[in-house]
Amino acid sequence: MFRGGNVLGSREVRMSRRFLTVLTAKCLVVVFWFAASAPAQQPAQSPAGQAQVRQRPPLFFREDWKPMASPKGTGEHTINQQDLNNPNLELKLYGDKNGPQEVFQANDDVTIVWTGLCSANCAVALRDKNNYVDLTGMGKMRWRTMQAGFHLLRPIVKLADGTWLVGDHTDGYSSDWLESEISLTDVRWRRLDIEKIVEARDGRWVDSPDLSKVDEIGFTDLMAGSGHGPGGSSRVDWIEVYGKPVKRDVGSQNQQTSQTPN
């Protein structure tokens, strides 16, 4: 009986070992299956990740002002449509329309827009003849400027519904030319009284304005100039706008072309 019991115990031990071997093999199969299936699941997640990558918009326009016919002469006149290099753009002047000057600055050999002769607040804007510009997402502006005195240059935009906004981004005094890049999604905006070139009386911030169809874009320092000399003024060498073009409707184009440009 003792031997029989011993044989039975050996069988139980062998069966237990076989069970453990099978169980271990099955566990390894499951582990390998998860390891093999994990890479196959990653591509299914990649489209969602790609959707979060924002596209940088193209250059919508650049304007660096046409060199003056006689730069060595007086080198100064009220800027007008003929001073634009880009044939697709229209020049718009607001506030003191006689004040913004095209000036040849001989010491730097550049042609600029200068606000020193604005007897009241003035603004300069540019409008593409055929397209609005979508400035949402990563839309931006770049410019090369130099301010004097307490003048602070700010971006302005006109929306498709006619609303004018002025931004809180400013470029102030610098002893030399300064190139700045303005991410427009980070700018805070207030309504602009385009007749007087001052902030609107409501004094409120415009939260999340619709920048998907911007009609005009430009700049102002919200101040009168102090005339010739080292006093207060703003100088703009060139301006660039980066955004996606949005085709204007026919009615909008006809309405604008029937008006005399400022």
SS3 for the chain is CHHHHHHHHHHHHHHHHHHHHHHHHHHHHHHHHHHHHHHHHHHHHHHHHHHCCCCCCCEEEEECCCCCCCCCCCCEEECCHHHCCCCCEEEEEEECCCCCEEEEECCCCEEEEECCCCCCCEEEEEEECCEEEECCCCCEEEEEEEEECCCCEEEEEEECCCCEEEECCCECECCCCEEEEEEHHHCCEEEEECCCCEECCCCCEECCCCCCCEEEEEEECCCCCCCCCCCCEEEEEEEEEECEEEECCHHHHHHHHCCCCC
In sequence order, the 6+-apart residues with CB closer than 8 A to the CB of 92 are 124, 125, 126, 127, 216, 218, 261, 262
Band of the pLDDT at 249, cuts 50, 70, 90? confident
189 forms beta bridges with: 167, 206
* Mean pLDDT computed over every residue of the chain: 84
pLDDT at 178: 97
Residue listed under structure tokens 């004018």: 164
43 or 252, which is more confident: 252
Distance CA 179, CA 142 (A): 7
Torsion angle of C-alpha atoms 44, 47, 48, 49, degrees rounded to 10: 110
Band of the pLDDT at 46, cuts 50, 70, 90? very low
pLDDT at 230: 87
Residue 13 predicted with pLDDT over 80: no
pLDDT tens track for 101-115: 999 988 899 999 999
pLDDT tens track for 163-215: 999 999 999 999 999 999 999 999 999 999 999 999 999 999 999 999 999 99
Residue 50 predicted with pLDDT over 80: no
63 or 9, which is more confident: 63
Torsion angle of C-alpha atoms 73, 76, 77, 82, degrees rounded to 10: 80
pLDDT at 67: 87
pLDDT at 7: 45
Residue 71 predicted with pLDDT over 60: no
Residue 38 predicted with pLDDT over 70: no
- Please give the average per-residue pLDDT across 142-161, as a whole number: 98
Band of the pLDDT at 55, cuts 50, 70, 90? confident
Backbone dihedral angles phi then psi of residue 83, each to the nearest 5 degrees: -90, 0
